[in-house]
């Protein structure tokens, strides 16, 4: 516990600085998106949602691979080195929860964009359906960890993360593999893809801002999980010591 408290004292000021920079950057990027970026010629101001929807959608496909890598590390270390396995598991649960947040915002902003442009909130095309499946897989991941009564919840959840990781390239490639109602790729989609350089700059600032926010959430949730693990280990140790005293 002393080591944990010492680490928290060192990291807390750094976390506050990171949070301050992140909030300032989000405010700056939001100003650019709402007031500085040029109005899109076809959709008008409703297209400004792309500065949130597209970066957050991209990030929602990155955090699952952090979860995937941490889950593989947990499966490898769970019998070889339980302490390393606990660290990997803390990263896994933290990245899974951040994935849920970003995937939820992706789906919600997509529906807010779709209604005025398509006239409907939702359509079961390949991009939307595969993204919804990714969200459901991570909801299942968290539910499994909470409700499993087998004692193997973390192991089963780590296996489930493999299936979630398989869905990520399907989400990404869906608008390339199939002709969907979802717009084609904005970046690296072919000769007609791309956006105005002024819009690209605003998009890049928002991508950086929301990436920093996701990293902050990941680090905060990881710290809380490690603190929970330490408290759980201390409680188990105290229970063992108490039982030994009773036995004596």
What pLDDT, in 10s, does the model give residues 52-98? Answer: 999 999 999 999 999 999 999 999 999 999 999 999 999 999 999 99
Per residue in 120-160, pLDDT (tens digit) is 999 999 999 999 999 999 999 999 988 765 668 888 899 99
Coil/strand/helix, residue 44: strand
Residue pLDDT, tens place only, 183-214: 777 766 555 566 778 888 999 999 999 999 99
pLDDT value at 6 more than 70: no
Per-residue confidence band for 170, with pLDDT thresholds at 50, 70 and 90: very high
Evaluated on CA atoms 87, 90, 95, 98, the torsion sign reads negative
pTM here?
A: 0.90
Q: Which residues contact 82 (CB under 8 A, 6 or more apart)?
A: none
Confidence (pLDDT) at 4: 59
Question: What is the model's pLDDT at position 153?
Answer: 85
Share of the chain above pLDDT 70, in %: 89
As given in the structure block, the two tokens for residue 132 are 């919804």
- Does position 7 have pLDDT exceeding 80, yes or no? no
Q: What is the pLDDT of residue 85?
A: 93
Question: In the numeric block, which tokens belong to residue 202?
Answer: 């605003």
């Amino acid at each position: 516990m002393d080591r944990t408290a010492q680490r928290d004292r060192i990291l807390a000021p750094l976390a506050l600085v990171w949070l301050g920079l992140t909030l300032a950057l989000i405010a700056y990027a939001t100003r650019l998106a709402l007031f500085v970026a040029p109005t899109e010629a076809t959709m008008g101001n409703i297209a400004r949602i792309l500065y949130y929807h597209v970066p957050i959608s991209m990030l929602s496909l990155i955090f699952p691979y952090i979860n995937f890598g941490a889950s593989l590390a947990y499966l490898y270390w769970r019998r070889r080195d339980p302490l390393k396995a606990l660290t990997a598991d803390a990263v896994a649960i933290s990245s899974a929860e951040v994935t849920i947040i970003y995937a939820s915002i992706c789906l919600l902003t997509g529906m807010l964009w779709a209604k005025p442009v398509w006239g409907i909130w939702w359509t079961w095309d390949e991009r939307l359906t595969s993204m919804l499946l990714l969200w459901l897989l991570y909801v299942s991941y968290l539910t499994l960890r909470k409700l499993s009564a087998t004692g193997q919840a973390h192991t089963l959840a780590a296996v489930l993360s493999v299936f979630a990781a398989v869905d990520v390239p399907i989400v990404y490639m869906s608008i390339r593999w199939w002709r969907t109602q979802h717009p084609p790729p904005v970046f690296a989609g072919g000769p007609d893809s791309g956006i105005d350089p002024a819009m690209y700059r605003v998009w890049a600032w928002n991508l950086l801002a929301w990436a920093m926010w996701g990293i902050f959430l990941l680090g905060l949730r990881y710290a809380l999980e490690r603190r929970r693990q330490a408290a759980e280990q201390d409680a188990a140790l105290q229970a063992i010591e108490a039982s030994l005293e009773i036995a004596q």
